[in-house]
Amino acid sequence: MSEISPIPAFNLFGETSAFPDVIHCERVFDRARLHGWKISPHRHHQMAQVFHIEKGFARVTLDGTETALKNGEFLYVPSKIVHGFAFEKGTEGIVLSLPSPVVHRLGPKAPALTTWLNGAHHAPLSELAASLLSQIALFHEKSGTFRAQRLVALSHALLTTLAEDTARSETPEQDQTRQMQRLDALISEHLTEGWSAADYARALHMTAGHLNRIVRKDTGATLTQYLETAVMTEACRHLAFTRLPVAEVGYRLGYTDPPYFSRRFRARMGETPTEYRARVAGEI
């Protein structure tokens, strides 16, 4: 019987031990070199991270899509997204790790900010954001009666600055994308709970018909098709990054009938779960 290997879930940069502080800030050089400059694909269930490259670069994989993180750029990764890194030897920068409770306390709540926090973002780091990140690194090493409060406040200032900086580059055409991002954030949160189209529409304060029109305009698919494809995308993650049996993958995503899960997967992805796993295994 083969060993079941779920997608690794780290609490820190390559670690499964308990989270050590209110937030955590460390140098890329100090951590990455301990792992041979490579961090295998993993995800964090209760943590977001901000990466900033000061010198060097990294090849980053986000849910199977590869991109380059270069000098002067940042990458924000929310919880639950599978990501991995291959750093150029000697790369320098900062990794800021934020437990989900710290991120969730950021307020007052605003739909645009909630959407931003639930998506991955990659862009040049502004001067103000760089200053805030440097202050976080500085005060992380200090002590004091209100150290935790200061670090949380600075982290909130950094996140809102990053969100504001990237929002400035948006065009009117991206309004549709923002609505879709709000939907995607809800799908990520309730993926295994069996939410219907009406449930998602209710959470977005609109009718199912209106939400269906938004999805059709953006993707060409119906809302029901889009929701099912999102579930199948999560299935792809399990098939690619774990050795869970196909039936177990289906069970975890709400399919109680394994043959039906395989049929629906093939209808959405163009191949059976077994065929998909074999093909991806040959490419990784």
pLDDT band with cut points at 50, 70 and 90 for residue 210: confident
**Residue 68 phi, psi (nearest 5):** -110, 130
pLDDT of 17 higher than 60 = no
The percent of residues above 90 in pLDDT, for the chain, comes to 54
pLDDT tens digits for 193-205? Answer: 878 899 998 888 7
Buried b (16+ CB within 10 A) or exposed e, 154-176: bbbbbbbbbbebbeeeeeeeeee
Entry pTM: 0.61
Exposure of 270 by Cβ count < 10 A (0-12 exposed, 13-18 middle, 19+ buried)?
A: exposed
Exposure of 258 by Cβ count < 10 A (0-12 exposed, 13-18 middle, 19+ buried)?
A: middle
pLDDT tens digits for 19-44? Answer: 568 999 999 998 888 889 998 888 88
Determine the Cα–Cα distance for residues 175 and 179; give it in Å rounded to an integer. 7
Q: In 10 A of CB 141, how many CB atoms?
A: 8
Determine the Cα–Cα distance for residues 199 and 188; give it in Å rounded to an integer. 14
pLDDT tens digits for 132-177? Answer: 999 999 999 999 999 999 999 999 999 999 999 987 655 555 556 7
Determine the Cα–Cα distance for residues 29 and 27; give it in Å rounded to an integer. 5
DSSP run (H or E) holding 124: strand 121-124
Stretch 186-192: mean pLDDT: 85
**Residue 85 phi, psi (nearest 5):** -135, 145
